[in-house]
Amino acid sequence: MKLGLVLECDSGGPDELVLTCLARRLASGITVQAVALGSKEQVFLKGPETAAELVESSRCDLVLIVWDLKPYWQPVTGRSCQAETEELRSKLAVLPNATSAKIRLLCLTWEIETWLIADARAVNAHLSTSAHKAKFKCASPLSMNDAKAFLDRECKKQRGPARRYVDVREAIQIAQLIPDTHKARRIPSFKRFANLACGNPLANFQQCGDVCNDLVYQAQRLGRE
């Protein structure tokens, strides 16, 4: 299957790398083509037409328009995933049926880091060293409405105040270390993603994190620029 992604991050950003990695791990043989629009505003302005281009011109079998309910730079508002989904769905309604049938909407509550902090095993594996075993835990990921800031605080707590969480480099590193989907499946948006990627919301990974090595390398290069 060829999966298209329409995203609010910059090209090569954390959402693109993490979603590509997890799609590969869930469905062997999947290929991913991502278009990063740079902001949530642009997703709502250009997302449907961009998704249509991925279906019609790039021949994607399925396209996901993905956005954060609360991007890290915005305060929590009264908006809901349901309301935002309906706004985009109304714009998809004007597309040809054959095109819109291949487009799905995925709102992340609250952001991609919500999936990461759901699995303390991966975060601890990322933060631990031979001299220090990290003790990260998060009993209720969905209660952290600023998951990125929470992960940043935990990184500083475990590694020292000067070593903050660098999402462009570290999000994909943590995603690569998630051993299975048992913890992530507590997050409804992850279950929906799994169902869309491989047809089973409760699916476990078919491939280990090594299939994401190129994405980790890409992130390391981007993080040094």
pTM of the predicted model, to two decimals?
Answer: 0.95
Pairing label, strands 62-68, 31-36:
unpaired
Helix ranges (H only) for the chain are: 14-26, 40-56, 81-92, 97-100, 112-117, 120-127, 147-159, 167-177, 188-198, 213-224
Which phi and psi (to 5°) does residue 14 adopt? Answer: -55, -45
**What pLDDT was estimated at residue 73?**
55
Sketch the domain layout of the chain as residue ranges: 2-224
Q: Which residues of 99-112 are buried (b: 16+ CB within 10 A; e: fewer)?
A: bbebbbbbbbbbbb
Percent of the chain with pLDDT over 70: 95
The two structure tokens encoding residue 13: 């950003």
Q: Give the tens place of pLDDT for each residue, 128-143.
A: 999 999 999 999 999 9
**What pLDDT was estimated at residue 79?**
77
Peptide bond into 110 cis (omega under 30): yes
Q: Give the tens place of pLDDT for each residue, 44-54.
A: 999 999 999 99
